[in-house]
Amino acid sequence: LPSMQTSGSKPCPCPSFKLREVASMYFTMIAVFLVILVVALQGSAPRGSDFPYKVPLDPQGLLELSWNVSYPEQAVYFQLFVRDLRFGLLFGMSDRGEFENADLAVLWSDGHNSYFGDAWSDAKGQLHMDSQQDYQLLGARRTPEGLYLLFRRAFSTCDPKDYLIEDGTVHLIYGILEKPVHSLQAINISAIHRGLQRVQLLKPNITIPELPSNMKTMEITAPNIVIPSQETTYWCYMAELPDNFPKHHIIMYEPVITVGNEALVHHMEVFQCAAEFDSFPHYNGPCDSKTKPDRLNYCRHVLAAWAMGAQAFYYPKEAGLAFGGPGSSRYLRLEIHYHNPLVFKGRHDSSGIRLYFTATLRRYDAGIMELGLVYTPVMAIPPGEDAFILTGYCTDKCTQLALPAAGIRIFASQLHTHLAGRKVVTVLSRDGRERQVVNADGHYSPHFQEIRMLKEVVAVFPGDELITTCTYNTEDRSRATVGGFGILEEMCVNYVHYYPQTQLELCKSAVDPGYLHRYFNLVNRFNDEEVCTCPQVSVPQQFFSVPWNTFNRDVLKSLYSFAPISMHCNKSSAVRFPGEWEKQPLPTITERLQEPVPRCQPTPGPAAPVPLNLGKLRRD
C-alpha cells in the first residue's frame, strides 16, 4: 500500500525478538508511569513553546494540533487539544487522507472507562488494534478549556501497518466520537464526524537569521471582505506600493490571520505584476469572476506564499528578494484560498501576508527559477492511469551557459502541479550521477502548496542537471490530460528560490514536436480507429482521438523516455539564451541515488490499549 512503510522501501533492520520483548516491557513500564503521572496533573495547559507548530484540524476549531520534531530521536511529539470532548476521537495519517488503510491513534470511552491505543484500518475501513503500539501516550491533561492529549511517534517503525513519516506533505485525518463505544472494533468510521488536514510535519531545523534594526513592515491584506458562503473561494485583491518606492529587500514574511478565521484561511499568495504595464485596474472579488479584469492574469511573479500550518519564512542572511525600484511593478495581487466546508455566512476577513523588508540591501538578490516541463500540450497523460510519470529537464548545456562559475545556492522550493499531480521530485545530477534530492514530496497535493525552506542549501554549478519528475493519477478521467494553463490541464513545475540571482529564469523542456507527430502516425498505422494528424488539427484534439489501448499507452511512455527534447533555457525577458535548443538529447544517468533505509526503533509496547481516567464525559 502506498501509505504504508513497506511500499517502495527496503526492509528495515528490526531488532531480534528477545531484544524487542525486553524493550517492549521497558517502554510499557515507562509509558504507564508517565500516564499515571501526567493524567494526575490537572490544571494548567502545556507550554506553547514546547510545540512550535500549530494547525486547526476541523473547521469549527474544536480540534487543534500542535507538534515538535526531534531529529536526534527521529520522532514527532504531538499535542492534540480537544475543546469539547465527547466520547473520544481518532487521529492519524494515510496516503491521501483516506480513512481506509490508515494509521491511527484512538481515544475511546464506553461512558465509564476511557482507553488510548494504536490502531489501523483495513481496506473496508474496519478498525483493528495494532500488534505494535507505536503511538506512545505521554499524558492526558484536563483544563477548563478542554483536554490536552500528548503522544509521540517515531518517523519510521518496523510495523507494516504504520505510515512512514517523510519530508513533504502529510495527510492528517481525524474523527470525533459522539456516542460511547464498548470496543475499538465497534467504531464505525463511516458514521462519525470526520475530516482531513494537510501539513508539512517534518519542518526544517534551521537557524533564524538576525534581523536588521532598520527593518520595516508592510501588510498586504484583504479589506474586511465577507467570506462567500460556499465551500471553496479564491479571492483576489489588488494592492499598490507607494509612488517612487525604491528598491528594497524582502527578508521575511509571515501570515496575518483574522482571529476566528484560522480554520477557514487555507493558503495565501502575494504576486507582483508584470513591469511592462504602466497600470493595473483595482479589483476586490472572486478570482474566477467574469468581472475580474484580464490584465490581472499578468500578476504571476510570486513574492510570498503561505499555507495552513506554515510559520514565518526567512531569507538566508546573505540574500533578500528585491522589490521596488526601476524595472519593478508597483502593483501586487493578493490571492486567498478560503476553505469553508460548513458554509458559514457573514464571516468578515482581513487576512493576508506581512512583509518584512529593508532598504539596506544584502549581498545578493535572491532569484526564482522555474524547473520542470514547459506549459505545452505535447506532454500528455492518458486517461485511467494510476501513476503516469512525466519528466522535465534543466540540462547541463543550459546551466553551463547561464550560471556563474561559483554556481548558485538553492535554499527554498515550491512544487506545483494541477489536480492530477500525486508526487513531485527534483534531483541534482552531476557528470551523469544523481547527487542530491533538491526537494521531494511523495504525498503531494495540489490543494496544499507552499514555499518550503530546504533542510540544507543545495549548490548548483555550471554543467549540473536538474531533473524534475511528476507522477499523475487520471483514473477518474475519460480522455487524455494535456499540458497547459487550465485547471483540468497539467503542469510539472518546481519554483526554486536561490542566490545570487542570474538571468536564467526558466530552465524547462518538452518532447520534440516532430517525434510526437511520428507517434500519432504510428497510432494511425496500428489501430483501426483513425487519429487525424492534419496540420489544422490541434495537438490536444489529436490526443483526444487516440484509442487508449495498452499498445498506445506503452508507446507514449516509451516516447517520453527516449525522444529528444526541446529545451527552454530562458532569460527573464522570456528570450532564450543563444544556442541550439531543439532536438536535444536526454541527459544520460549512469548512477541513481539509493533509497534511504528507514531507521526503525524497538517496539514501545504490547498490543493493548492504555486505560485513562478522564472523569465523566459529556453525553449531550
| Preceding omega of 500 cis (within 30 degrees of 0) | yes
Question: What is the number of other CB atoms lying within 10 angstroms of the CB of residue 9?
Answer: 15
> Annotated catalytic, 375?
no
Question: What is the number of other CB atoms lying within 10 angstroms of the CB of residue 302?
Answer: 15
Measured N-to-C along each axis, helices 550-562 and 513-526 cross at an angle, to the nearest 10 degrees, of: 160
> Annotated catalytic, 234?
yes
Pairwise CA distance, residues 611 & 137, whole Å: 11
Pairwise CA distance, residues 438 & 369, whole Å: 13
Let me know: does 272 contact 335? Beta carbons within 8 Å: no
Q: Grid coordinates in use for 12?
A: 528495515
Q: Grid coordinates in use for 597?
A: 533505509
Q: Which residue has the cell 518538452?
A: 510
Q: In whole angstroms, how far apart are CA 268 and each of 220, 382, 441, 487?
A: 11, 32, 20, 18
Give every strand in the sheet of 565-571, ordered side by side: 452-460, 408-416, 493-499, 367-373, 504-511, 565-571
Let me know: does 491 contact 373? Beta carbons within 8 Å: yes
Catalytic residue among 416, 447, 515, 517: 416
What are the phi and psi torsion angles at 610 (to 5°)? -95, 125
Q: In whole angstroms, how far apart are CA 561 and each of 192, 564, 585?
A: 46, 9, 11
Instruction: Write 523-527 long-range contacts (CB < 8 A, 24+).
Output: 523/547, 523/552, 523/555, 526/551, 527/551, 527/552
Instruction: List the one residue out of 161, 110, 111, 202 whose CA is nearest residue 443.
Output: 202
Instruction: List the one residue out of 467, 449, 462, 375 whose CA is nearest residue 412.
Output: 449
Q: Which residue has the cell 494535456?
A: 482
Instruction: List the one residue out of 439, 429, 510, 494 whose CA is nearest residue 463.
Output: 429
For residue 25, give the 3-state DSSP assignment.
Answer: helix
Q: In whole angstroms, how far apart are CA 193 and each of 87, 113, 176, 177, 178?
A: 12, 22, 5, 7, 8
Pairwise CA distance, residues 274 & 322, whole Å: 14
Catalytic residue among 53, 234, 298, 515: 234
Q: In whole angstroms, how far apart are CA 585 and each of 512, 561, 619?
A: 10, 11, 68
Pairwise CA distance, residues 347 & 222, whole Å: 13
What are the phi and psi torsion angles at 77 (to 5°)? -105, 125
Active site residues per annotation: 234, 416
